[in-house]
Amino acid sequence: MAEHNHYVPILKGRLGEYSALAGLGDSTRASITPLIEVAPIPWDFENEAPAKSIDAHLHPIAANVERYWGKDRPLFVDLGWIADDATSSGSHPSLSVFTALREIGAQPIPVAGVSRSDEYVAAVRDIAAEDQRGVCLRLELEDLRSVAVLARSLDATASTLKVAIEEIDLILDFKGFDAGQAPAIEMAAGVVLSALPRAEQWRSLTLAGGAFPLNLSGLQGEARIMRADWDVWRAVAINRADELPRRPAYGDYAVQHPEPEEIDPRLMKMSAAVRYATPTEWLILKRKNVRDHGFEQFHEIAEDLIGRPEFRGADFSIGDRMIEACAQRESGPGSATTWRKIATNHHIETVVDQIANLP
């Protein structure tokens, strides 16, 4: 059973997040169970249609898991964003993805929820029956409003899935909030955790949320954003541990907002921006848009960053090593995907380091 010193980073299944996992140290990999959300199918704004078929969208998932995470450790896989799309064969997308993961020998655990469709829950039930690795139940804010209703929903869903409570990883996901909303989230999380039915029986228990903003459009130059999700978890799981039947592990959305955002690329001018986690906040260093001013701006941002006291040094993570190489012009400026990899890799190593050094 995973204890409270475990970490669940919730990542969108895009290349920047996948590749961030590949560079993690062995001790970090042993301390986390990533939850990969299969992102929605991109939209083709030019033709007013999905940019690809559901089959093409799902096809790279198994190869990405094998290449960037490997087959020797479990991970959670959630297809909630595309749950209503059927593959060309007419099957649920979860069945297609888990068949491919099974063929490569990976160890995925399917993610379900108490409010998801009957078709989705049935697909997860079939996957769990075949793979015998249990299920992750991800509860969202609407599911947590009544502890009494929650207890009945959990029992009903576990019964439908035909999985024992001891085989269920439970995630209480408060999704997106900011520092101003943190006190209310802290209070709500404390109430739910204090009254959670059979708290000690769940295979694992995680409190998750995400305080990173939806986008950086209103920021310029240097900005700092409080890591309110970390503050809430620490206040509940550490400072109020004696009040809880069980301490939850920590989960967050790394350096992105919980909700996916898709903007018409014809209208968007992406800025050169670096997201860098510190123990208490995210440091944002942003310059001008790359369409007009080029990706070379990342060299200047990296040079700025390595001269700051917040920089952890090239030995701290693969991401930090890449920042220093960019600052010293030992590598190219990279792309948006490169910098999402750097930011996510550094963030995960930062969180694991924080958890390991808690009193």
Supply 121's token pair: 């829950």
Q: What's the CA gap between 342 and 276, in Å, rounded?
A: 9
- State the pLDDT confidence band at 302, using cuts at 50, 70 and 90: very high
Q: DSSP readout, 223-236?
A: EEEE-HHHHHHIII
- State the pLDDT confidence band at 91, using cuts at 50, 70 and 90: confident
Please tell me the predicted confidence (pLDDT) of residue 266: 65
Amino acid at 275: R
Lowest mean pLDDT among 172-186, 208-222, 312-326: 208-222
pLDDT tens digit string along 111-165? Answer: 999 999 999 999 999 999 999 999 999 999 888 888 888 889 999 999 999 999 9
Three-state DSSP class for residue 48: coil
Entry pTM: 0.95
Q: Quickly name the fold that domain 7-261 has.
A: TIM Barrel (3.20.20)
Nearest Cα to Cα of residue 210 among 191, 187, 228: 228
Cα separations in angstroms, 42 against 2, 163, 165, 358: 35, 34, 36, 40
> Which secondary structure element, helix H or strand E, spans residue 196, and what is its range?
none
pLDDT tens digit string along 196-250? Answer: 989 999 999 999 999 999 988 888 889 999 999 999 999 999 999 899 999 999 9
Q: Residue ranges per domain, the chain?
A: 7-261
Query: Contact at 8 Å (CB) between 62 and 101?
Result: yes
> Which secondary structure element, helix H or strand E, spans residue 290, and what is its range?
helix 290-293
Please tell me the predicted confidence (pLDDT) of residue 144: 86
- State the pLDDT confidence band at 359, using cuts at 50, 70 and 90: confident
Angle in degrees, 0-180, between the axes of helices 147-161 and 182-195, rounded to the nearest 10? 60
